[in-house]
Structure 1
Amino acid sequence: MQEMTPGLAPSPHEAEDPTLAEDVQQLMRDARALAEAEFAFQKTRAAYAGAEAKGIALLGVVAVVLVFFAVMALVVGAVIALGPVLTAWGAMAAVTLALLTIAGICALAAKARLKRLKNAISDKKG
């Protein structure tokens, strides 16, 4: 620290130093400006995410519909291809049985995963 000699004017550097109150006020103004900017950024980001989510959902629905039709074409093709070998009724029964078997395997796998999830959530063994 510098000692001030009585009667001398403060140096220009000392006169420009803000007081503690001014520093706190400036800090509050800066914090408010930062908070407003962050809020505006997050609001814009949420709007962008919402708009993108609509497009993603639409593309997902279109993909699921197209996969459904592709699987139906595969099923019809399998019935037609097996028709001469197993007769029409036999081909239909074989394809239906195959699809039900696949569905059953998927259902059992889903049941096992659900049980595992319930056990993990409840912290129970078994």
Structure 2
Amino acid sequence: MRANSCARARAWPSASPRRSVSCSRASSAARVADAAAGPQGVREQPGETADIGSGKIPADIPSEFDPDNDEFPEERHTPSLLEDVVHLFEDTKTYLEAETAFQKSRGGYVANRLKSAVAYGAAAFGVFHLALIALTVGLVIALSPLVGPWLATLIVGGLLIVVGLVLLRGLKSKIDDIRSAFDREEP
């Protein structure tokens, strides 16, 4: 005789609380039989063994599971289509609530980091601007002994205007590229 897989896989009683879920009628009977057994599988009544490892099972436990047996109808409840749809709706609602909460926290995190990035960017821009002013003043001071203060100022100012015009031309070409991307008509 072959024992039910649920009955074979049962552990011996321990101090931890047992769950009341069973796989079948056979495992329910095995649970009752195991409750009477000691920790080594020896029963109180002489002549009966509960040695699960050897494959011997008591005579009152069936050797196979009969799915058509309606002795325990409450264990065989199958949900209807309506119940499945209701559970699906509830699960979807829970998922959407969790996803919304996640995206809100993510947006808050990004907004916080964006504020910090803008602050650091503005500070860096200010420091670079001051550095360029210092270089310009230093260049005027360095050229003053060679060509005089007025001519040094005109040379440095003229060079800065030329560099500014080159950068402005690059900016205009990039803006024209963006404009042309939006002006194209798709066929």
TM-score tier after normalising by the smaller chain length: 0.7 to 0.9
Which residue of 158, 162, 176 corresponds with 1:97? Answer: 158
1:53 matched to 2:53? The reply is no
- Give RMSD over aligned pairs: 2.2
- Separation in 2, partners of 1:12, 1:66: 79
Name the SS for the 1:17 alignment partner: coil
**Partner residue of 2:57?**
none
Query: Is the helix fraction higher in 1 or 2?
Result: 1
Match of 2:27?
none
What is the CA–CA distance in structure 2 between the aligned matches of 1:94 and 1:32, rounded to whole Å? 70
| 1:26 has 2:26 as partner | no
TM-score by length of 2: 0.58
**1:36 and 2:97 equivalent?**
yes
Residue 116 of structure 1 and its aligned partner are, at CA, apart by 2.6
Superposed displacement of residue 72, structure 1: 0.4
Question: For 1:18, what is the secondary structure of its paired residue?
Answer: coil
Q: 1:78 aligns with which of 121, 136, 139?
A: 139
1:28 Cα deviation from its structure 2 partner: 0.9
Q: Percent identity?
A: 31
Matching residue's letter, 2:167: C
Aligned residues: 119
Distance 1:10 1:30, change over 3 A: farther
Give the partner amino acid of 1:92. Answer: T
Shift of 1:70: 0.3
Of the structure 1 ranges 87-96 and 105-114, higher mean CA displacement relative to structure 2 is found in 105-114
What is the CA deviation profile of residues 57-98 of structure 1, one whole-angstrom value per residue up to 9, with x for unaligned ones?
A: 110110000000000010011001111111111110000000
Q: Which residue of 2 aligns with 1:116?
A: 177
Q: TM-score, normalised by structure 1?
A: 0.84
Please identify the structure whose Cα radius of gyration is greater. 2
**Following TM superposition, where does structure 1 have runs of at least 4 consecutive aligned residues deviating by more than 6 angstroms?**
none
Distance 1:17 1:91, change over 3 A: same
Amino acid at match of 2:77: E
Structure 2's unaligned 5+ residue stretches are 1-66
Letter of the 1:43 counterpart:
K
Take 1:68 and 1:112, find their aligned partners in 2: how far apart are those partners? Answer: 24
**Take 1:44 and 1:109, find their aligned partners in 2: how far apart are those partners?**
40
Structure 1, unmatched stretches of 5+, are none
